[in-house]
């Protein structure tokens, strides 16, 4: 995924721009598919596990004060 992102942004001065947004999107989809497949190995209810975890993350995000509220 990082290689596609670096290629999209041209951050490698020797190579320049070698990828586009669709390459990064395809790589991110591969990551999602791989994680979903692996999740099936650890729980009989992968959808429930994902929903529960997403709920916890959502609550943390909702409670986060954001950069404007933090002390520097």
Distance CA 13, CA 42 (A): 42
Confidence (pTM): 0.68
Q: pLDDT (tens digit, 0 to 9) for every residue of the chain, 72 residues total?
A: 889 999 999 999 999 999 999 999 999 999 999 999 999 999 999 999 999 999 999 999 999 887 765 554
Burial class (CB in 10 A: 0-12, 13-18, 19+), 27: middle
How far apart (Å, rounded) are the C-alpha atoms in residues 43 and 53?
13
* Exposed/middle/buried for residue 57 (C-beta within 10 Å: 0-12, 13-18, 19+): exposed
């Amino acid at each position: 995924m990082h290689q596609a992102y670096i290629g999209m942004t041209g951050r490698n001065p020797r190579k320049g721009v070698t990828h586009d947004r669709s390459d990064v999107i395809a790589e991110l989809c591969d990551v999602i598919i791989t994680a979903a497949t692996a999740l099936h190995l650890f729980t009989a209810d992968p959808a429930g596990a994902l929903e529960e975890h997403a709920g916890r993350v959502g609550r943390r995000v909702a409670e986060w004060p954001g950069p404007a509220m933090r002390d520097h």
